[in-house]
Amino acid sequence: MIWVTYRQHRWLVAGTALAVALMALVRVLPRMPDYISYGAFGAIAAVFWGAPLLAREYEERTHVFAWSQDVSQGRWLAGKVLALGAALTLFAVVLWLAGLGTTTSRYPWDSFELGLFPLLGYAWFGFALGLAASALTRRTLVAMGLSLFVFTVTRVVLARWGREHYLPPVHTWRPDPPPGVDYVPQLPRDGLWIDSGYADRNGDPMPPPLQCNGDDTCLKANGQIGHFVDYQPGSRLVTFQLIEFAIFVVLAALLLFVAFRALRRGTRSRPTGSAAGTPVPAGSGSSTRSRATDPDAASVRPEEEPR
């Protein structure tokens, strides 16, 4: 199984190795933002590793060949998933190692997605997503497009609107300093800003009174005492990375389940003989003229002649 996987996918593995090397190299070079190269890794797993895996076999009808061997379909796929998954894992680790210590940003949350666990989670999720799309659509290009779309949307939605709510944020507030004294920022440098604004005497957020129009005396008269900040402290970075990792691993597991189910269902609904290459019964084509008017007769034929 390992040999088959290697022989069939060696160009994919070589190409990805090159891409990973480029990405790692590009980190040292100027002008390429981290998120472009590192964000692309999971997408590569989805589009180039997962999506073509089954769809190409269906499209070129080589699944008939692959699955008529002694290895069962489930084991055939499991072997591929394990071997390719291991290779992907290795690449993610290499990418992570290459990125260590080169982070340029002073804000740790900016390099959230460069952590080992997020990188692994995105790669596994992308691979499983591509695989599920592959098994469901059975067409390479469609699977590639679909998995790229779903991958991008999932990643963007979680990064933009999901991530900051993994745990309730830390809430701090402080009364405004008297006039002439500098305002000291309450947000720690390693904190992830969630929300901030006016605070009342209890330190609770309060909506800005509309009639005040920013006028300080008016604000104070309406009960504004100070400012509050909600944020995620830097100490939670690793916890949050693990939470995001867990989410993507669960999603990956679900998608793998979908892929295996689709594979099983797909092969069961076929006439069992087709996989084994049952010869076409003699005469089934010769009398087509008399069958021309019988739609059922025509509908039996398509699966009979695997090429």
Partner 1 sequence: MTGLLWVTWRQHRAVVSWTTVLVLVVVLFSPDLIDWAFRNAFGAVVAVFWGAPLVAREFEERTYLVAWGQDVSPARWLAVKCGLLGSAAVVLAALLDVRQIGFTLFGFALGVVAGFVTRRTVPAIAFTLVGYVLVRWLFAGETSVWLFESSVLCGVFGAVLIPVAFVLLSWRTNAFRMGVA
Partner 2 sequence: MGIHVEGVSKWVLRDCSFELPSGSVTALVGANGAGKTTLLSLLAGLLSADSGQVRADGRVAFVAQDKPLYKHFTATDALSFGKHTNKVWDQERAVGWLSRFGVPLKRASGRLSGGQRAHISFAVALGSRPDVLLLDEPLSELDPLVRKEVTAALLGFVADEGTTLVLSTHVVSELSGVADRLLLLAQGELLVSGEVDDLLGSHVSYVGPVSTAAPGPGDVVLARHTAAQSQFLVRTPSPVSVAEPWVSRPVSLEDLVLAHLEVAE
User: For binding to partner 1 (CB under 8 A), which residues are involved?
Assistant: 11, 15, 19, 26, 31-32, 36, 40, 47-48, 52, 56, 140-141, 144-145, 149, 152-153, 156, 160
Of the pair 40, 242, the CB lying nearest partner 1 is at 40
In whole angstroms, how close is the CB of 12 to partner 1 at the nearest point?
Answer: 8
Of the pair 82, 298, the CB lying nearest partner 2 is at 298
* Chain centroid offset of residue 157 CA: 11
In whole angstroms, how close is the CB of 297 to partner 2 at the nearest point?
Answer: 8
The span from the CA of 201 to the CA of 145, in Å, is 54
Residue in the structure block whose two tokens are 């060696």: 10
In whole angstroms, how close is the CB of 82 to partner 1 at the nearest point?
Answer: 22
Q: Where are the beta strands (DSSP E) in the chain?
A: 170-175, 192-199, 226-232
Rg value, the chain, Cα: 28
Of the pair 152, 274, the CB lying nearest partner 2 is at 274
Of the pair 25, 250, the CB lying nearest partner 1 is at 25
In whole angstroms, how close is the CB of 304 to partner 2 at the nearest point?
Answer: 6
Of the pair 18, 292, the CB lying nearest partner 2 is at 292
In whole angstroms, how close is the CB of 305 to partner 1 at the nearest point?
Answer: 17
Q: Residue 281 — φ and ψ, nearest 5°?
A: -55, 135
Cα-Cα-Cα-Cα dihedral sign, residues 123, 129, 130, 131:
positive
The span from the CA of 18 to the CA of 32, in Å, is 17
Residues that bind partner 2 (CB under 8 A): 59, 280, 282-286, 288-289, 291-292, 295, 297-299, 301-302, 304-305, 307
In whole angstroms, how close is the CB of 5 to partner 1 at the nearest point?
Answer: 16
Q: Residue 284 — φ and ψ, nearest 5°?
A: -65, -25
Angle of CA points 54, 258, 154, to nearest 5°: 95
Of the pair 269, 299, the CB lying nearest partner 2 is at 299
Q: Quick one: residue 31, left, alpha or beta (phi over 0 = left, psi -120 to 50 = alpha)? A: left
226 is in the binding site of which of partner 2, partner 1, none (Cβ under 5 to 8 A by kind)? none
